């Protein structure tokens, strides 16, 4: 048997998916479908479930994703060698040693080496010219929380790796990178000037850092530039006379300041804006204030009926009774809500017995009339309680004599009334079927005549006797 030779090259192919099912080619040799693994981005896919393999005669081939499992557009599809690292070949002393067996064994070993080479190519390695002691172990603390957000660095001798500081410190430095750059740009002469300032002066300035920060922003600088213009200086001169100062002192009193603070709140400003929008309505109400006052006198709301200032036609909502009432001149009467059509009541309830008054309950358009009790309730017609579920085929409604009706199978029994008889048809004029059961004996009285082209079929596994 010819053994496919192992091709040179990496046991790895990668594609950027267009969202199609494939095929996606692999250019390395496999001997079984399980000798490769397929990843979509970082997710390993399952053979047969997510993809199938097609192999060429030289051992290369392609994979095709199954319906519904196409990779998303722009995702990476990676195919790598994944042959299990095992050896199933066994050579025994004096046993056969064929070229195919040796070729297969050597090829498998080469496959394993290629797989290891592909994996090593993705690892961090030391340069060829290194003179470092090897191996160079990667540090790890068995208490996993001690590894969280940590950097890996060389030790003080530069000969081994160790767990370093947290990334928090690095993030802090990155956040002030522009400040570090600004400090680096300061000239040595400026630094000498700063150094010549006494520490007491520096401390005094540092104590006013907040105020300096307020003055140093661009908005404040722009405002001070405006204040420095001749027109503003002239206005400030006008404000500095005694009359204006007295007026400002008046405005500065606690009461007026409190009032101004109230006027300046967002709620009050919103209210003023709202009034501005409805000023026409406000004018209309003001022009009809007599009618508004009249309505206020006519309509009241409370928890108990009023006993004073009563005029015929007054309206009152009693919040205790949840009812609107009117004064009829001598007492408060409830205004009863009513329906003009029973269709308007979407949840009707009877307050008493329904008297059909000689009429019928009918439906339209061939509709059914459904009577459906709630839960375990039953339909009771004229004192008879009917079952709530259907019986089985062939059962009939029977009563227990106590007002309860149920489905039951009617069993044959002996005649107890003199003159009563059993009877059956003695002619079959159309096709008919009789089904027997192994648990019951059936009989008919003959003779029975089958007329015309009718067919009588007897089925089942029981016995039917014609007497």
List, in order, residues 6 or more apart from 136 with CB less than 8 Å away: 126, 160, 161
Cβ atoms 101, 3 nearer than 8 A: no
pLDDT at 239 over 70: yes
Q: Cα 326 from chain centroid?
A: 53
Residue 238 DSSP label: H
Angle at 229 between CA 228 and CA 231, to 5 degrees: 130
Mean pLDDT, range 253-275, rounded to an integer: 83
Apex 363 CA angle, 358 and 364, nearest 5? 125
Which helix (H) or strand (E) segment holds residue 177: the answer is: helix 177-184
| pLDDT given at position 36 | 94
79 exposed, middle or buried (CB, 10 Å; 0-12, 13-18, 19+)? buried
pLDDT at 68 over 90: yes
Question: What letter does residue 47 receive in the DSSP assignment?
Answer: B
Cβ distance 162 to 154 under 8 Å?
Answer: yes
pLDDT band at 282 (very low <50, low <70, confident <90, very high): confident
- Distance between CA atoms of residues 65 and 414, nearest Å: 75
Average pLDDT for residues 253-281, to the nearest whole number?
A: 83
Residues 148 and 97: their CA atoms lie apart, in Å, by 56
Cis bond upstream, residue 135 (ω within 30): yes
pLDDT for position 176: 87
Q: What is the pLDDT of residues 48-62, one digit of tens each?
A: 999 999 999 998 999
Mean pLDDT of 329-334: 89
Place of tokens 């003009």: 340
The answer to whether the CB of 74 falls within 8 A of the CB of 17 is yes
Domain assignments of the chain as residue spans, ordered by start: 12-120, 168-235, 373-408, 424-467
Contact 121, 10 (CB under 8 A): yes
Q: Which 3 state secondary structure label does DSSP give 173? A: helix
Q: What is the DSSP string of 389-441?
A: S---TT-EEEE-SSSBEEEEPPPP----STT------SEE-S-EEEEE-TTSE
Cα(381)–Cα(371) distance, integer angstroms:
11
Q: Which 3 state secondary structure label does DSSP give 278?
A: coil
| Cα separation, 53 vs 32, whole angstroms | 9
Residue 86 is predicted with a pLDDT of: 67
Average pLDDT over residues 252-265: 83
CA atoms within 13 Å, Cβ hemisphere of 26: 27
Q: What is the pLDDT of residues 367-407, one digit of tens each?
A: 898 888 988 888 888 888 889 888 888 788 888 888 898 88
Q: What is the CA radius of gyration of the chain?
A: 51
Model pLDDT for residues 8-20, shown as the tens digit of each residue = 778 899 999 999 9
* Averaged confidence pLDDT in the chain: 83
Retrieve residue 391's tokens.
């019986």
3-class SS of residue 318? strand
pLDDT for residue 1: 45
Q: Does the structure show a pLDDT above 50 at 94?
A: yes
Residues for the chain: how many in total?
Answer: 467
**Rounded to whole angstroms, how far apart are CA atoms 324 and 332?**
10
Query: Average pLDDT, stretch 414-442?
Result: 83
DSSP character string of 5-46:
PPPSS-SEEEEE--S----EEE-S--SSGGGEEEEETTEEP-
Query: Where residue 339 falls among pLDDT bands split at 50, 70, 90?
Result: low
Tokens of 189: 């002469």
Least confidently predicted of 195-204, 303-312, 313-322: 195-204
């Amino acid at each position: 048997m010819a053994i496919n030779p192992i091709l040179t090259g990496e046991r790895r192919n990668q594609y950027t998916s267009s969202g199609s099912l494939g095929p996606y080619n692999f250019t390395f040799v496999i001997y079984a479908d399980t000798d490769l693994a397929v990843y979509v981005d970082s997710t390993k896919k399952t053979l047969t479930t997510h993809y199938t393999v097609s192999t060429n005669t030289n051992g290369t081939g392609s994979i095709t994703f199954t319906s519904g499992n196409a990779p998303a557009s722009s995702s990476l599809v990676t195919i790598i060698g994944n042959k299990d690292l095992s050896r199933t070949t066994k050579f025994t002393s004096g046993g056969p040693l064929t070229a195919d067996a040796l070729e297969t064994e050597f090829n498998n070993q080469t496959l394993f080496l290629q797989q290891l080479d592909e994996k090593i190519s993705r690892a961090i390695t030391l340069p060829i010219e290194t003179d470092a002691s090897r191996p160079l172990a990667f540090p790890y603390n068995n208490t996993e929380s001690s590894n969280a957000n940590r950097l890996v660095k060389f030790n003080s001798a530069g000969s081994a790796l160790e767990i370093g500081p947290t990334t928090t410190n690095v993030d802090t430095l990155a956040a002030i990178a522009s400040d570090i750059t600004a400090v680096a740009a300061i000239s040595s002469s400026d630094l000498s000037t700063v150094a010549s300032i006494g520490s007491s002066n520096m401390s005094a300035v540092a104590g006013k850092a907040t105020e300096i920060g307020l003055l140093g922003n661009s908005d404040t600088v722009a405002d001070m530039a405006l204040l420095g213009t001749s027109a503003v200086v002239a206005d400030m001169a006008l404000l500095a006379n005694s009359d204006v100062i007295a007026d400002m002192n008046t405005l500065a009193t606690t009461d007026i300041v409190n009032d101004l603070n109230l006027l300046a709140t967002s709620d009050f400003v919103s209210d003023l804006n709202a009034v501005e929008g409805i000023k026409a309505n406000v004018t209309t109400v003001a022009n009809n204030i007599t009618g508004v006052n009249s309505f206020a006198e006519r309509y009241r709301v409370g928890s108990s009926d009023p006993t004073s200032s009563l005029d015929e036609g007054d309206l009152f909502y009693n919040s205790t009774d949840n009812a609107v009432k009117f004064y009829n001149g001598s007492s408060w009467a409830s205004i009863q809500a009513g329906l003009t059509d029973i269709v308007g009541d979407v949840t009707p309830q009877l307050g008493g017995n329904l008297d059909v008054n000689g009429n019928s309950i009918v439906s339209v358009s061939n509709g059914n009339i459904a009577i459906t009790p709630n839960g375990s309730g039953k339909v009771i017609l004229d004192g008879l309680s009917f079952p709530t579920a259907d019986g089985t085929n062939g059962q009939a409604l029977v009563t227990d004599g106590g007002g309860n009706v149920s489905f039951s199978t009617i069993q044959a029994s002996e005649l107890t009334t003199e003159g009563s008889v059993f009877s059956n048809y003695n002619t079959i004029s159309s096709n008919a079927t009789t089904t027997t059961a192994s648990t019951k004996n059936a009989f008919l009285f003959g003779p029975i005549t089958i007329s015309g082209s009718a067919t009588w079929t007897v089925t089942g596994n029981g016995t039917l006797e014609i007497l």
